[in-house]
Structure formats: structure tokens, C-alpha cells
Structure 1
Amino acid sequence: MSAAEDLVRRLRGTVLPAVATPMDAAGVVDFGALRGYAERIAGEPIGGVAVWAHTGRGLYLSEDDRRRVLAVWREAVGGPVVAGVGVPRAAGAVNLGEAVDATVGMAVRAAEGGADAVMVYPLAQLDGDDDAAVELHERVAAASGLPVVGFFLHGEAGGYPYPPWLVSRLLALPVAVGIKLATLDRAMDCQDAIRAARSSGRLVITGEDRMFGPSLMWGADSALVGIAAAQVPLTVAVLEAWRAGDHGRFVRASARLDRFAEATFLAPIEGYVQRMLWAAVWEGLIPEEAAHDPYGPGLPAVERRTVVDCLESLAKEAQEAEEANDTEDSEEAGTEDDGPARS
């Protein structure tokens, strides 16, 4: 079994949080906060984690910070670690050859740091050149020795949509693990890509935070999402309910996750990183002083209140549901104990 096939087996049906990177307002990574955050996330029922992804501002970090961030997660997480690779923002405007070289170089460093696979950012410099896109993934895999995940990323985050025929070509590569879909709100693009990917036998990985439940219904079988940078149990609950065929539980869990997505993944969409950091603070995953995203837009305080109100409402509902279940179980046990004996 190849490394790519083994990862497909290990990751199918699991959630990989696209984890955040705790830092101060100046962009200095708080590695103490990161270690605590990593330990908490690693304790959840996850398949692995994705580092250097959009949520973790991987392309904005210095090379040394990326190395240290990967080392923290590699130590904390027993499952696979997938590293996002692309063109560092510090490189500025580069041509296609330079962009490919930068991506390949980052993949090599990911392998040196112990990553199990790399997720290749779609390069704007490819400009619709399907052959160059396939060659990029082949070069990344050959240089790093790692399996690759294709990344269908919406334009608002710096990517461009892969057409269905390119999705099929990428997943036909022996080194391919799967395709990660992040189309934001483009249902038809998401459905077309899933349809193209389903026959490959590789992973169809949803990154659709605002279409999470529907993307599973359309055929995604795993998840790599920024919304799980904080709300891991709820994200896992949706995926597990769908795969178990428990449609009632799936609808309830999906509705709760949708409410959280409505409070965090909205315009300006780049603000979602800060909103997820606020959620992580509320959940006790990271300290307040490490909950800054200096690379996103400034957001008004009312948006934080919206995120917190949503989390408090969801927590209250979960507590009430648990108390109701406890009461029902107690009443059933009492009926069994106190009922008359029958022959």
C-alpha cells in the first residue's frame, strides 16, 4: 500500500481542523499559547490536523515560525499532519516559475518537519493552465516525497476554481490523497467538483464551512475546515451522524453548526480568522492576548458579541438537552424498578 493510499484509509470519515495560530497584535506567534491549544485540539476525536492553512495564516508566517508551528503540532498530534504549501506573502508578486519553486520549497520543508502530506494552494499564476497545475502537484510530490492534497480554493482567499476535468486529472495522480473543496458559497461548483472526484476512490474533503451539511449530502466523505479551529465536537458530530445514517441527529447537529457558521463566516470573509480566534478564547482554547489576526480586516466589537451570543446560546441548548435526557433516563429506570412483577 502506498503512502497516499494509507492516508486515504486513515483519514476517510474524519475531521481535520484547519488550526489557528495564536499571535499578538503585531503578528508575533505565542508558542506557549500554541502548545496549550494544540494539546486541547489533539484531545478531540479528530483524524489529524492541517497546519499552515488559510486559518493558520501559514503563508504569512516567517519560515522559522512555520517550522516551529509544525514542530508543536507534530509533537502534540498522533494522527496525520497535513501542511498547506504555496507562495509566502513575503515573496511579493512572482511569476509562475518562481511561484512553483516557492511552493516546492515549502513542501520540502514540510517533509523535513515531519508532515505526513501537503495541501497545495492553487496558484493564481497558473491562470487556467491545467497542464501546469498537474505538473505543480507532481513536482511537489517528487521533491518532498509526500502525498498531496489538491486545494480548490475560492477567489476571495486567493485561489481560483479548478474545473471538473482538472479535479479528475489531479486525483488520477498516484500521489494524490484527495481534493479539498472550499468554494465558499458556490453550490454548483462544489457539486460539480464532488461529482468529478467521487469516482477516483480518493478523498473528497469538504472545506465548506457555510455548506458543511449539504456538501456531505452531495458526496464529501471527510472534512478539513476552519470552523473546527474552535468548534471541534460540533463539527465531528455532524460528520459522524451523516456517516452513521442517523438523519435526525444529522439535521439537528447540522442546524447548530450552521448557526455558528452564520456568526463567523460572513462578509468580510477574511474576518473569519479573527472570529474563530474569538470563539477559541470563549472556549478556553487560547488566552485573550494571543487571539489576534493582524492580517485580516478590522472588525467592530459588535461582531464579537454576535459570536459569543451564538456560542452561549448553543451551550445553553446543549445543557438543556442533556438535562432532559438525564430526566428521561431516570424516569425510565424508575418505571422499571417500581413496576409490578408479572409472571
Structure 2
Amino acid sequence: MLKLSGVLPALITPFSPAGDIDFAALDRHLRSLRAAGVAGWVPCGSSGEYNLMSDDERDSVLQFVKDFARPDELLIAGTNAPSTAGVIANTLRAKAMGYHAVLLAVPFYTKPSQAEIVQHFTKVIDATDTNIVLYSYPGKDGVEIGYEALDALADNPRIIGIKESSGVLQRAIGISTRYAGRIQLVSGSDDIAWDFMQWGADSWICGPANCMAKPVCEMDAAFRRGDHARAREIMQMLWPAMNVLESGKFVQKLKYGCELQGNPVGTCRMPFGLLTDEEKAEFAATMQPVLNWN
């Protein structure tokens, strides 16, 4: 089984003032994240506004990140689509580029049953023979990848992990214990990432890493060397900013956080709206410990 390990930023996609993908800004962004110590790359997920890009744009981002990556950096492509056929097509293109795995939520807008979830992922695996990291985010997708579906998928060698973004710690505990050695638990609830680590999550697909990569990577490193108290201290420092992120306009705040770091990446595409001055001030205040990080 492909080992999932370390901080894997759920990458934002920079846009120019004209609304085009800004590859110069993306290159600068990737270099700053690498310097902070990330373990790999997860482009074209929800933090990357994949659903607001054309297939050609998505492919261009995936190819750019693939070309930038070093051989020892893990590559996980977001290849979601509204239909199973679309997921298969996206996944085959990512596989041909050289991605090690894909990150897949349930097809959006459909709210499939547990049986339909199993059928969907099985069909994708049969058609692509690609490693899949499941992505359970019921708050956004309207349906959880429940134990019924996970029980049916757990012994498929291509189902290698699950990014758990319910925000419910009991789910992380349940996955960690119920599927030990079969499905890797991936931290996807950023404000309780330390708790996920305690329950066996060895990787963190992390949106906030876009604008707070140094402390996030240092927290991960502290936990790995057994300094759980230091990891918890860093989590406590990060929590206010992560809590504000989770309160709404998540992607807009990620991009504003990059701007605060001196790394402008543009604004989001519509229908995402701009942050108000009050929202900017609230997030900037909680980001001060991150901005002062040495």
C-alpha cells in the first residue's frame, strides 16, 4: 500500500487580475511551501477551486505541479466530477501524468446512497486501476461516506486512505480502529488535527498549510519526534486562525492569508465573493502568531 505521510497542502490555485491561472504565482507559492517542509502536493481539490475551472485548466495545473515535484514528493490529484464517467476521464489523465493517487469525494450534487457510493468507487477503480484517497466531507457534499460503504471498500487494495473532514472526532477514532491496516486515516479536520494524530493519522491534507505552512509543518515534525506537548502547543496557537477559517469563506481566507504572508495569489473566481473589511481584520488578527513565526 502506498504510504501517506506528512503535511500535504491542499493547494490553492492563484489567479491573475484578469482571472487566468497565474503560473508564476503558483511557482512562487510551491517554492515557499517546499521550503517550509511539506511532503507532497494535492492540487485541484476544493481549496483549488477545481469546480470553477475547465478541464484544460485543471490539466494544466496538474501538469505544472507534476513537473515541479521532486521524485520523493507525493502527488495526489483532485479528479472529482459530477459523474462517474467524468471522474474516470479525469483520473486517467492524472494517472498518465504520473500522479501516485487521486483524492475523491462523492460526486457532488447527487447525494448518492451508500450502495451507490460503493458502486461509484468500484467502477472508478475497475476503469483506472489507480490508488484512491477517499474524501468524506458531509458538510459540503451532503452525504457521508459511511461505515456501510467503507466496510464494502476497505479490502480493495486501491482504497488506500480517507481524508476525514466531518469535524467529528468520533469518526476519526472509528476509522482508525475499525480499518487499522486497511484504510489510512488522513487528517482533514484542520482544527482538530492534533487529535487525529493521536489516533493514528500520519498524513494531513491541509488547506491552511497554504498560508501557515511553517507552523503546520513544525507541528507535524514535533509530533513525529514524540514531542506531543510541543505539537499541542502549536495547535493551540493555530486554533484561533483555523477556527476563523472554518467559520466561512474558507478559500477566500486562505488566499488572503497568503497575501498577508507577502505571497499574493489573487482572489477567487465567482461565485465566491470578496472578503469584507471586517472579515479581513478578524482573520488578520488571528494570523499574527503565524506571521511572527520564525
- What SS does the corresponding residue of 1:231 show, helix, strand or coil? helix
| Structure 2: stretches of 5+ with no match in the other structure | none
Task: Please name the residue that 1:127 is paired with.
Answer: 112
- What SS does the corresponding residue of 1:51 show, helix, strand or coil? coil
Between the aligned residues of both structures, percent identity stands at 21
Task: Please name the residue that 1:224 is paired with.
Answer: 205
Task: Please name the residue that 1:252 is paired with.
Answer: 233
Task: Please name the residue that 1:44 is paired with.
Answer: 36
CA-CA distance at 1:117 after TM superposition: 0.8
Structure 1 pair 137–265 and aligned structure 2 pair: CA distance change class (3 A): same
Structure 1 pair 126–237 and aligned structure 2 pair: CA distance change class (3 A): same
CA-CA distance at 1:126 after TM superposition: 5.5
Task: Please name the residue that 1:160 is paired with.
Answer: 143
Aligned mates of 1:295, 1:172 — CA distance in 2: 39
- Which residue among 92, 108, 125 is the counterpart of 1:141? 125
Aligned mates of 1:315, 1:171 — CA distance in 2: 41
- Which residue among 159, 165, 172 is the counterpart of 1:182? 165
CA-CA distance at 1:255 after TM superposition: 0.7
**Contact 2:212–2:290 (CA<8 Å) still a contact in 1?**
no
Pair 1:85 & 2:79 matched:
yes
Structure 1 pair 190–296 and aligned structure 2 pair: CA distance change class (3 A): farther
Aligned mates of 1:298, 1:135 — CA distance in 2: 39
Task: Please name the residue that 1:94 is paired with.
Answer: none
- What SS does the corresponding residue of 1:137 show, helix, strand or coil? helix
Could you tell me the TM-score, scaled by structure 1's length? 0.78
Q: Which moved more, 1:186-195 or 1:173-182?
A: 186-195
Could you tell me the TM-score, scaled by structure 2's length? 0.90
Aligned mates of 2:195, 2:269 — CA distance in 1: 29
**Contact 1:167–1:196 (CA<8 Å) still a contact in 2?**
no
Task: Please name the residue that 2:177 is paired with.
Answer: 195
Task: Please name the residue that 1:172 is paired with.
Answer: 155
Pair 1:265 & 2:251 matched:
no
Pair 1:281 & 2:265 matched:
no
**Contact 2:267–2:274 (CA<8 Å) still a contact in 1?**
no
Aligned mates of 2:237, 2:55 — CA distance in 1: 38
Aligned mates of 2:227, 2:67 — CA distance in 1: 35
**Contact 1:25–1:293 (CA<8 Å) still a contact in 2?**
no
| Structure 1: stretches of 5+ with no match in the other structure | 89-98, 320-343
Q: Which has the higher helix share?
A: 1
- Which residue among 55, 58, 63 is the counterpart of 1:71? 63
Aligned mates of 2:242, 2:32 — CA distance in 1: 21
CA-CA distance at 1:221 after TM superposition: 2.1
Which amino acid is the alignment partner of residue 128 of structure 1? S
Map Cα deviations across residues 192-228 of structure 1 (whole Å, 9 max, x no partner).
Answer: 333333x234421011112212222233221111111
Map Cα deviations across residues 69-96 of structure 1 (whole Å, 9 max, x no partner).
Answer: 01111111211211112225xxxxxxxx
Task: Please name the residue that 1:34 is paired with.
Answer: 26
Aligned mates of 1:119, 1:46 — CA distance in 2: 18
Residues 321-340 of structure 1 correspond to what in structure 2 (within 5 A)? none
Structure 1 pair 42–242 and aligned structure 2 pair: CA distance change class (3 A): closer
Aligned mates of 2:214, 2:259 — CA distance in 1: 16
